[in-house]
Amino acid sequence: MEDSIMQDAVLGFDLGGTRIKMGIVERSGRVHGFRSTSTDSAKGRAHLLNVLRQIGQSAPGEAASLGLRLVGVGIGTAGFVDAQGRVAYATENLPGWTGTNLKKELEEATGLPAAALNDVHAMALGEAWLGLPASRGLRDFVCVTLGTGIGGCLIQNGQIFGGRDGYAGGFGHQIVMQEGGISCGCGSSGCWESYASVNALKRLIAERLPSDPAEINRTADDPQNVSSPIPLPDPRQLFEAARSGSSLALAIVDEYASRVAVGLVNLVHTLNVGDFVIGGAIAAQGDFLLRRIAGEVERQIMPVYRGEGITLHPATLGEQAGVIGAASALWRDLPMK
Ligand SMILES: [Zn+2]
């Protein structure tokens, strides 16, 4: 195919503790060849870089077979990434990753311009570009991912607000409990993440678990219903029980919603933000959970901040959000053709 009629595309990566996702992203946002592979993070940094290099080197051929010309590589990674595209700090989910100059490694491996950023920052960019905020014309919003931990990103006028070093968005580590707070992986205690992440929800379910597990299935209408006891703690089963009317499951969901709301309320008071995009594993619970959290936010915020209302939008790009967002970080730097 003639070079001149080939469309430009960017290789996007989303690197987490368990999976590396990738895809070839056109300037329109269309994704080709989306797939994922195990991170095998225990094998360490050299292994990870090798995987990225191999994919980076075979991608131009894959792109060409689609009639696309690869013009860059974008990567979102778990951990803190500085403005130079270096991983300043990553937890033990990615052993040895701290200190990796990811942008430079990818540029050397592919000979193409590269962009490296935090994975939640990438997801937020993806949502800002093609997600619900984009379709609503929202230029300012806060992205929060409720997963194993809590990630965050502030989008201001369509751009990531990175702060001095690029690390803004560590909302999960705002302290919500000073006295006797649960200790957090960050070294502090009482962090929001320890009360509102999926792991925190598992802990909450275990704490509220009645001595008779069948109790969770009893509904207000049918207090004698003790069929099919639910093995706990499993958040998905908790939500299933709550949706089918279990009073106990609903009470736990409401308690969790209230804990999530505390952190969001702090963000409303700090940033005067009106729109949140909620991602992460818990976003799969959709409106059932989001409207409970929104109700709690409404109840807890100072009335002057209510404005036209505080809206919680579910993240809409799903598992491709990070790949699309990482690619869009590159598109922002490349000249339009
Ligand atoms: Zn913490």
Quick check: bond before 95 cis, omega within 30? no
pLDDT for residue 232: 54
What gap in Å lies between CA 265 and CA 286, rounded to an integer?
20
Say how many Å lie between the CA of residue 146 and the centre of ligand 1. 14
Say how many Å lie between the CA of residue 191 and the centre of ligand 1. 5
List the 68-77 sheet strands across, edge first.
31-38, 19-26, 7-15, 68-77, 114-118
Say how many Å lie between the CA of residue 186 and the centre of ligand 1. 4
pLDDT for residue 132: 85
Say how many Å lie between the CA of residue 184 and the centre of ligand 1. 5
Say how many Å lie between the CA of residue 309 and the centre of ligand 1. 29
Say how many Å lie between the CA of residue 194 and the centre of ligand 1. 7
- Residue 291 CB: number of other CB atoms within 10 A? 12
What gap in Å lies between CA 114 and CA 105, rounded to an integer?
9
Say how many Å lie between the CA of residue 118 and the centre of ligand 1. 17
Calculate Rg over the CA atoms of the chain.
21
Say how many Å lie between the CA of residue 177 and the centre of ligand 1. 11
pLDDT for residue 228: 45
What gap in Å lies between CA 157 and CA 141, rounded to an integer?
9
Of 318, 288, 284, the residue nearest 131 (C-alpha): 318
**CA triplet 25, 167, 163: central angle to 5 degrees?**
105
Which residue in the block uniquely carries the two structure tokens 């009482």?
A: 190
Residue ranges with CB less than 5 Å from ion ligand 1: 173, 184, 186, 188, 191
What gap in Å lies between CA 267 and CA 161, rounded to an integer?
14
pLDDT for residue 229: 46
SS3 category, 272: coil
Q: Give me the helix-helix angle, 235-243 and 198-208, nearest 10°.
A: 70
Which residue in the block uniquely carries the two structure tokens 């269309």?
A: 30
Of 188, 139, 183, 130, the residue nearest 159 (C-alpha): 139
Q: How many CA atoms lie within 13 A of 173 on its CB side?
A: 10
H or E element that contains 291 = helix 286-300
CB 130 within 8 A of CB 324: yes
SS3 category, 15: strand
CB burial class (10 A; 0-12, 13-18, 19+) of residue 272? exposed
Domains, the chain, ordered by start: 3-128+319-331 (3.30.420.40), 137-316 (3.30.420.40)
Say how many Å lie between the CA of residue 119 and the centre of ligand 1. 18
Divide the 337 residues of the chain into consecutive groups of 10 and give the mean pLDDT of each group: 76 94 96 95 93 95 96 96 95 92 96 96 95 89 94 95 95 95 94 96 89 62 49 82 94 97 98 96 92 97 95 93 95 66
pTM exceeds cut of 0.85: yes
pLDDT for residue 227: 44
Say how many Å lie between the CA of residue 189 and the centre of ligand 1. 6
